[in-house]
Structure 1
Amino acid sequence: MTLPLRIVLIEDEAATARNLEYIIREIKPDLEIMATLQSVTEAVNWLTEHHNSYDLIFSDIRLSDGLSFEIFRQTDISKPVIFVTAYSDYAIEAFRNNGIDYILKPFDEEEIRRAFLKYNTLIVPDIEMERARMASLLQQLRSATKTYKKSFLFHYCGRLVPVESEKIHWFYTAKEIVYARTADEKLYIAGSTLEQLEQALDPGLFFRANRQFIINRNAVDTVEYFFNGRLEVKIHPSPQEQVLVSKARAMLFRRWLDQ
C-alpha cells in the first residue's frame, strides 16, 4: 500500500492558504495536509518537533514576522520546497533553500500541477538530468518578470471610469465591500477582495497594513508609535478609521517605507 504524500503549508494569508489547499486536493485527493503554519516562529517550532515526518513543503516567502528563509536557517530541513510568492526577487535564494519550484502569485491549478510533476521527478534520482533541469529552471527565473495591475475600471454613477493604480491612495473593506479612495478623494467600489488586490498590486507601491487597509506609499504622511508595539499610519485622504500596523508586521512596514 502506497502511503499518501504528506504536505506542510507555510502561508500567513488565510484565504491564500485555503485556495492553495483546495487546488492541491483537486490534483492529489489522497494526500495529507499535515499542518498550515502562519509565521516563521510557528514553522520553526513545528518543523523542529516533526523532523522529517513530512514529504514536501509549500511555502510563501514574506510572512508576518519575516522571510521564510529564516526557517531554513534555524531548522534542519532536507525535504524539497515549492515556493509560492508574490515576489520575484528571491528566486536565487529560494533554490539555495531546498527549492524545487518558484511559483508567482496569483497562481492557478496548472502551475501547481507542473510543480507536482517536478517533485515526482525527484523520486527517481538522475543526477545529470536533475542538474540540467535546475540550471534551466534558474535561467527561467532570472528572466522572469512579474506584471502588476496598472489600472482599474470602476462603475461610477452609471458610467465606467478608468483609474490608474498609482492614483489610488488606499483600499478599505467594510461589511464585505471593498472601497478604493483616490488621491483626489473620489470613492469607488472595487469588485475584488483585499486578498485578491494584494496579489494583483505592485508590492513596492502598496502594502497590506491590516485586515481592513491596503495603502499606497504616496498616501503616507507620518508614522507614529502606538500602544503595544503597533504603528499608527497617517494617510491622505484621511479615513474615518485609524490605520494601525500590528507589532508583528511593523518591521516589514518600516522596511517597505525605507527602500
Structure 2
Amino acid sequence: MMKNLQIVIIEDESATARNLEYILKEINPEIHMVKTLQNIAEAVDWFALNESAYDLIFSDIRLSDGLSFEIFRRVNIRKPVIFVTAYHDYAIEAFRNNGIDYILKPFDKKEVQRTLFKYDLLIASVSNNEHAETGILLQKLTNTAKKYKQSFLIHYRGRLIPVEAAKINWFRTANEMVYAHVTNGMQYIVEFTLEQLENDLDPALFFRANRQFIINKNAVDAVEYFFNGRLLVKIHPLPPEQVVVSKAKAMHFRKWLDQ
C-alpha cells in the first residue's frame, strides 16, 4: 500500500468521519489525514487554496448544504475521489465527478481496504510523474468501472428467453417471488431479489420506489402528491397495487425523473 498517503475527508457527520479515519489508520498507520471538511462551502474554499496538499479524497454525497458534486463543479480538482454514501442512486454521477470507486454505508474495514487496494493498483499503472492525475486514473478505470446488467436470460415454459433490461417496465416482489413486467405485455419470474436487482441495474434508468417495486423511468406516466409528503407514481402497464414513494425518498425520486 502506498506510504504516507495524504487523505481529505468530506463528511458532515462527525461520527462517520471519525470512524472512517479510525479504519484508515488501522489499515495503514502511515496514512495522514490532511483535513476533514463538513460542507460544500468549506470544501470549495479549502480546495481552492490547497490544490496539491493531498492525494485522495473520501467524500460523502449528501451534505448539509447539498450534494458534494457541486464542489467538483466549482473547483478544479484533479485528484481522485472515493464516494462514501448510503444511497445506490448516485453511482453514475459519482464516476462523472472524479470518482474512482463508490462504497456504501455502513462500510467496514474490509470494504475500505478493498477500495484502497483498487486505488493502489491504479496508481501503480501510471508513471510516478502522473501518479495522482485524475484524468489518467479515470482512463485506467474505464475497463474496470461497474457494468450494469443489460439483459436477463429467463426460464419460461421450458425455454430460455433473453429480455433486455431496458424493456422491463417494473419489477415487483410478491409471495417471495420477483416478477418482471416487459413492454410486450409478458410477465416473468426472475431469479433475483429486489436488493440484488437494485445493485445490478443502471440507477439512471431504474429506481427502487419502495419495498415492493423497482420501476423503469420510461414506464412513469405521472406523479401525484399523496398523503404525508409521499408521492403516488402512475406507471404503465398498471400494476396490481399502487406504487408509493416515501417522504424520505420523494425529493430524490423527483431529481431522478428530472435528469
Instruction: Identify the TM-score tier after normalising by the shorter chain.
Output: 0.5 to 0.7
Match of 2:94 in 1: 90
Deviation at 1:164, TM superposition (A): 1.5
Q: Within 5 Å, which residues of 2 pair with 1:94-173? A: 94=98, 101-103=100-102, 115-117=115-117, 129=128, 132-135=130-133, 136-141=136-141, 146-173=146-173
Give the conservation status (yes or no) of the 8 Å contact 2:231–2:244. Answer: yes
Match of 2:174 in 1: 174
Give the conservation status (yes or no) of the 8 Å contact 2:92–2:203. Answer: no
- What SS is found at the alignment partner of 1:90? helix
Match of 2:251 in 1: 251
Match of 1:54 in 2: 22
C-alpha distance in structure 2 between counterparts of 1:166 and 1:118, whole Å:
30
* Cα gap change, 1:111 to 1:192, in 2 (>3 Å): same
The residue identity in structure 1 corresponding to 2:188 is Y
* Cα gap change, 1:182 to 1:62, in 2 (>3 Å): farther
Deviation at 1:45, TM superposition (A): 3.9
Report the TM-score, using the length of structure 2 for normalisation.
Answer: 0.59
Give the conservation status (yes or no) of the 8 Å contact 2:152–2:164. Answer: yes
Give the conservation status (yes or no) of the 8 Å contact 2:152–2:162. Answer: yes
Match of 1:19 in 2: none
Q: State the Cα deviation string for residues 90-110 of structure 1 (Å, max 9, x = none).
A: 246456xxxxx52589xxxx9
Give the conservation status (yes or no) of the 8 Å contact 1:210–1:244. Answer: yes
Q: State the Cα deviation string for residues 198-249 of structure 1 (Å, max 9, x = none).
A: 2222222211111211101121111100011110001111112110111121
Equivalenced residues, count: 194
Structure 1 gap ranges (5+): 1-39, 72-79, 96-100, 122-127
* Cα gap change, 1:91 to 1:154, in 2 (>3 Å): closer
Report the TM-score, using the length of structure 1 for normalisation.
Answer: 0.59
Give the conservation status (yes or no) of the 8 Å contact 2:83–2:94. Answer: no
Deviation at 1:137, TM superposition (A): 2.1
Structure 2 gap ranges (5+): 1-9, 25-56, 72-79, 105-109, 122-126
C-alpha RMSD of the superposition: 4.2
* Cα gap change, 1:133 to 1:169, in 2 (>3 Å): same
Q: State the Cα deviation string for residues 69-124 of structure 1 (Å, max 9, x = none).
A: 689xxxxxxxx9743667243246456xxxxx52589xxxx997553336789xxx
Deviates more, 1:43-52 or 1:176-185: 43-52
Match of 1:77 in 2: none
